[in-house]
Structure 1
Amino acid sequence: MSRIARAVLHEWRNVVVDPCRRLRERGPLGVSLAVVACVAVIGLHEFQQTAAGAGVVRVLSEVRADQPVWLSLLRTPVSVFVPAVDLSAWGGLPRLFLAFALAELLFGRVRTLVVAYAVTLAGTLGARVMIALGPDRLGLPAQAAHTVDTGASAAIVGLFAYTSVALRSPLLFLAAVVPTVSGSIAEPNLAGREHLVAVTVALILGVVLHRRGGGQGGGRDGGRREVARCQCPLPVSKAVDREVGHGREIGRGRELGCGGS
């Protein structure tokens, strides 16, 4: 088998076979976070279309660079699940579900949420830095500070980038990350710059957290490897040998009817 074929087979097992096996073992609860994320996006989108809901969603999730930092930090978790006004909520649901489900099955709910929030927050704060730099220094114009910044696109591309590094899957990176990065470079607006920041942070997290081959930490296979690693015989000191030998002599004495102290 050629090197390319082995690489494709290896990635197929990591990206498709192993997540499907874990989904079969855990059942629907294995992707509960992905389902909740999709339901939250649909629910907030529909609620936003009502007269009363638009104001509530705006207060809870509207993030802009001209706001105080503490207010943006407070609204960022909700803003992830509020679709951008100029985009369709239904079109991005398959990518949202796939990104969250794949990460949830491989890394668990906690790490998936941490990575998604970290890359989203990095993009939000990075936009402030780029607006402060200005367009003359490869930044953004001042008008971008008034742009409403919501949506899960940064979290989605960040999770795909993190998973690609953790699993060492270049094909997944090419299919799920490169098109977004290319579009962000071609159209350097606020969302595009945030995507670039999110991908960069996700790559750093993937390298740091999985540099020693712990790409699927917390999984059952990882637990087996830890158990197997702990079954190696340990060296016994001479003092322990003497104690064991003395105990054996006492045992023999008791078996022969001799009292042992």
Structure 2
Amino acid sequence: MTSAGAGPREEPLPGRDAVPVPGREAVPVLRRAARAEWGALLRTVRSALAASRLRAIPMTLTAVALTLVFQFVQNQDWGYQAVQNIGSVQADEHLWLALLRTPLSLFVPALDLPVWGALAQILVVFGIAEICVGRRLLLAVAYLATLAGTMYARIGIWIGPVSPVGLPDSDKYVTDTGPSAAVVGLAVFVCWRYRAWFTCAAVVVAMVVEVVSIKNNLAGKEHVAAVLAVLVLCGVQELWRSRTGRGTRRVSGSAHPR
């Protein structure tokens, strides 16, 4: 029976009663998670590049150029030994000589790896770090991570292969160069400063998995040593901030002072 005075039946609006598409509900969740993880960092990088373009990363561009120069020179018959003399580090050398060469060893590409990989690592990670934490911290953290790898090589050889954290005696003759230790150290430090905890944990886990399953050699273990050194630095800074009452505030999109 039809009720008296009832109006025409309302037709459903298109899409109003549509069946939800599987997975569509997860998109806003993922977007919010990505914004929480990388939002402040990306805003800092985007605003700096929009305002200054490549002038925002002069130290990074200098590092890229220096790496290219070393790559060209070490591949020449007349230049190989010169590059080794100023930037090649081996664990069988005197410690003072290794310490002198360690800063430049960061910019000497490994001979067995493509140089474009080193250049991409420097441009992306160094560039983000230069904008987000400043040039002084970029230099300090990069050197700390590289130095941690250099010192680990000596400690690992002293421990010997009997321990999982040790190294065989033959590794004392391995040429130890390249930016990879500095890159992973800077990635961890920047993620900590911007509270990108998931990314920070992912980098740490990736370095451990690299040693356990992929590259159980000097290079892989040096990456872990670099990460551990930077994590100690982060912990010390966190403790200092809490004791001085400053706390660690999440960065809201402005670059750190240089």
Equivalent-residue separation in structure 1 for 2:250 and 2:229 (angstroms): 17
Equivalent-residue separation in structure 1 for 2:168 and 2:94 (angstroms): 18
Does residue 1:41 correspond to 2:67, yes or no? yes
Structure 2 unaligned spans of 5+:
1-25, 242-246
Indicate the larger mover: 38-47 or 208-217. 208-217
| 2:248 aligned partner | 213
Where 2:57 maps in the other structure, the secondary structure is helix
Does residue 1:193 correspond to 2:228, yes or no? no
Structure having the higher helix fraction is 1
Structure 1 unaligned spans of 5+:
224-261
Q: 1:104-154: CA deviations, max 9, x gaps?
A: 001111110110001100111011111100011220011111111011110
1:35 CA drift (Å): 1.0
Where 2:110 maps in the other structure, the secondary structure is coil
| 1:165 aligned partner | 192
| 2:175 aligned partner | 148
1:4 CA drift (Å): 6.3
Q: Which has the larger radius of gyration?
A: 1
Q: Which AA in structure 2 matches 1:59? A: N
Which residue of 33, 45, 56 corresponds with 2:82? 56
Does residue 1:179 correspond to 2:206, yes or no? yes
Q: Which AA in structure 2 matches 1:109? A: R
Where 1:52 maps in the other structure, the secondary structure is coil
Q: How many residues align?
A: 222
Instruction: Tell me if structure 2 keeps the 8 A contact 1:103–1:159.
Output: yes
Does residue 1:99 correspond to 2:134, yes or no? no
Where 1:97 maps in the other structure, the secondary structure is helix
Instruction: State percent identity of aligned pairs.
Output: 35
**Bigger relative contact order, structure 1 or 2 (CA pairs below 8 A, ≥6 apart):** 2
Distance 1:215 1:133, change over 3 A: farther
Instruction: Tell me if structure 2 keeps the 8 A contact 1:163–1:206.
Output: no
Where 2:78 maps in the other structure, the secondary structure is helix
Distance 1:216 1:77, change over 3 A: farther
Does residue 1:80 correspond to 2:115, yes or no? no
Q: CA RMSD in A?
A: 2.5
